[in-house]
């Protein structure tokens, strides 16, 4: 059995930025926590990218489908 979990839903601020993620197990994590978890290989289907500003963010692994992009996940 895998210890990895997938992002099920996201929470966004008024600017549309993702601030929190909900994993399949129902736990909710801040983006900082989720980035650390992704680096540790605990979240499936995402990777950590770095913006030109140096800020790290989560991104869905490329697969040719936009349906599973984080921005398109259900909002909680």
Given a contact cutoff of 8 angstroms between Cβ atoms, the answer to whether 12 and 19 are in contact is yes
Determine the structural domain holding residue 19 and report its residue range: 5-63
- Count of structural domains, the chain: 1
- Does residue 74 lie within any of the structural domains? no
pLDDT in tens, 24-52: 999 999 999 999 999 999 999 999 999 99
Provide the pLDDT for residue 66: 79
**Element of type H or E holding 32:** helix 31-39
**Closest residue by Cα to residue 57 from 25, 33, 39, 31:** 31
Does some domain include residue 47? yes
What's the predicted TM-score (pTM) here?
0.87
pLDDT for res 11: 97
* 4, 24 contact by CB (below 8 A): no
pLDDT at 2: 61
- Angle CA(68)–CA(55)–CA(63) in degrees, nearest 5? 20
């Amino acid at each position: 059995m895998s210890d990895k979990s997938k992002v099920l839903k996201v929470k966004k601020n008024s600017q549309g930025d993702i601030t929190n993620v909900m994993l399949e197990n129902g736990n909710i994590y801040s983006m900082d926590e989720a980035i650390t978890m992704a680096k540790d290989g605990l979240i499936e289907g995402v990777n950590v990218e770095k913006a030109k500003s140096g800020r790290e963010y989560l991104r869905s692994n490329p697969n040719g489908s936009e349906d599973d992009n984080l921005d398109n996940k259900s909002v909680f």
